[in-house]
Structure 1
Amino acid sequence: MKNCLKDPESLSTAPVVAAGLIGGWQVARATGVRPIGGVVLAAAGVLAGRSWWARKGAATAVGLSAAYLGAFGASHPLAKRIGAWPSVLTVTAAAAGAAYWFGDRN
């Protein structure tokens, strides 16, 4: 079977991170089933993590994975203060920015 995933070293991870955070939230919201949103979040995280590991090594992959999961966790209390959309967009911008800065750029 042919590998259907893009070469991990050529994948731009910032959009994947954004898709995982925003997409996971929207899937959970639209279906009313939070674990399905978690599957989207996890799939994007694994895809991005695979690229960070291949491109930058274990330390960067662990750090960016922690930032990704931290953004997800921070969105919940932040949403109580500023609302759901602003919260998700804020943490997504931070996580995607970190993914670009530390994982994607040469």
Structure 2
Amino acid sequence: MPSTRNLSPAIAAAGLVGGYAVARWTKKRPLGGVVLAVAGGVAAREWQQAAGAKAAAALTGAYVAAFAGSHPLAKKIGAWPAVFSVAGAMAGAAYAVTRNAE
């Protein structure tokens, strides 16, 4: 069974995708923000346990930047492609930072 640390890239990506999906389908942006924040908090805790406070802070900053960056990207390539793009990039970054940390 994989450890929780190995799931942190998926948690971060799911937070970005899930937050957008909830906001879009419920038409309640704050509810999507709750999903985004909860997943980000869980991922940040896992990043800190796996790789330390500095790595967790950097990855949390990347998570927020991915969310913010998806908005202008959506104007160029569409909303869902933008969300999936930043979620994939975030998962890749989280994996790169935490893969050898166990």
Residue 63 (structure 2) aligns with: 68
Match of 1:29 in 2: 24
- Report the counterpart of residue 16 of structure 1 in structure 2: 11
Give the alignment's TM-score, normalised by structure 2: 0.91
Determine which of 67, 70, 90 is the counterpart of 1:95. Answer: 90
Unaligned ranges ≥5, structure 1:
1-8
Match of 1:86 among 67, 81, 85: 81
Runs of 4+ residues deviating >6 angstroms: none
Q: Which runs of 5+ in 2 are unaligned?
A: none
Identity of aligned residues (%): 54
Amino acid at match of 1:41: L
Q: C-alpha separation between the residues in 2 aligned to 1:102 and 1:58?
A: 12
How far is the alpha carbon of 1:10 from its aligned partner? 3.3
How many pairs were matched up? Answer: 97
Q: Residue deviations 1:46-86, cap 9 Å, x none?
A: 00100111111110000000001100000000000110111
Amino acid at match of 2:10: P
- Give 3-state SS (helix, strand or coil) of 2:44's partner: helix
